[in-house]
Amino acid sequence: MGLVIALNKGRILKECLPLLSACGIEPDEDPDKSRKLVFASRTGGHKIIITRSADVPTYVEHGVADVGVTGKDTMLEYGEGMGFYELLDLKIGQCRMMTAGPKGLPEPGGVLRVASKFTNITRRYYQKEGRQVALIKLSGAMEIAPLLGLADTIVDIVDTGNTLIANGLEARATICDISTRLIVNRASMKTKFESVQSLVSQLSGVVASNDAARSE
């Protein structure tokens, strides 16, 4: 039975397509050369949806997609009570969610002004820390917020840390490690159990093989 698979646009898509291809699942057109957002698969009767990262959990939760591939950051920001299962760490798109601020300057006392795209993650983190914060939601270029006096600290995804350094910031506390996960709609886990399990088993093998190759 064919599956509807929701994938992130961007970097995760480029890293995920080879994993799916190793499982015999390929879009019938090159997503980089097509304006289409929904593709048939060359084999297996699957359908592939290409969408924004923040929308992948929504498509899966509401059953429009049976399975989805998205970052752990997106899942954490989406929140609790999710209508899907997290079944597999694909070990791609690995990075960290961190706090960062101007290099060499301690965080000020009182209410901390924090800029982030990930306001839910940020709120929960500082609540656990017992710190009162004023959240400032930005969609991108978080690094300039402290430089322009908009925020004291930022919460963002950090890969190499080079962008922070270039903007006079330093990484501080790690909130969580991030990687790309396979999620499955709860109903599809029952109605398409064999197809879902087959995909999970194949992807697990590909991930294990890639891990072994990297360790050689």
Write out pLDDT tens, residues 44-99. Answer: 899 999 999 889 999 999 999 999 999 999 999 987 657 899 999 999 999 999 99
Whether the predicted pLDDT of 186 surpasses 70:
yes
Share of the chain above pLDDT 90, in %: 81
What's the confidence (pLDDT) of residue 140? 84
Question: In one letter, which amino acid is 115?
Answer: A
Tokens 């709120």 found at: 123
What's the confidence (pLDDT) of residue 213? 79
What's the confidence (pLDDT) of residue 80? 63
What's the confidence (pLDDT) of residue 211? 83
Q: Which structural domain, as residue segments, surrounds residue 17?
A: 4-93+179-215
Check whether residue 60 and residue 47 sit in a common domain. yes
| Cα 59 from chain centroid (whole Å) | 15
Contact between 117 and 55 under an 8 Å Cβ cutoff? The reply is: no
CATH number at residue 53: 3.40.190.10
Report pLDDT digits (tens) over 86-111. 999 999 999 999 999 999 998 898 99
Contact between 37 and 114 under an 8 Å Cβ cutoff? The reply is: no
What's the confidence (pLDDT) of residue 26? 94
Check whether residue 99 and residue 52 sit in a common domain. no
Check whether residue 89 and residue 9 sit in a common domain. yes
Check whether residue 85 and residue 183 sit in a common domain. yes
Contact between 27 and 35 under an 8 Å Cβ cutoff? The reply is: no
**Phi-psi category of residue 65: left, alpha or beta, with phi > 0 → left and psi -120 to 50 → alpha:** beta
> Over the chain, what is the mean pLDDT?
93
Check whether residue 189 and residue 167 sit in a common domain. no
Check whether residue 56 and residue 122 sit in a common domain. no
Check whether residue 11 and residue 86 sit in a common domain. yes
Number of domains into which the chain is organized: 2
Check whether residue 8 and residue 88 sit in a common domain. yes
What's the confidence (pLDDT) of residue 81? 59
Check whether residue 131 and residue 120 sit in a common domain. yes
Greater model confidence, 75 or 215: 75
pTM of the model: 0.88
Check whether residue 25 and residue 132 sit in a common domain. no
Question: In one letter, which amino acid is 170?
Answer: E
Of the candidates 114, 100, 97, 107, the one whose C-alpha atom is nearest the C-alpha of residue 164 is 100
Extract the tokens encoding 155.
């919460």
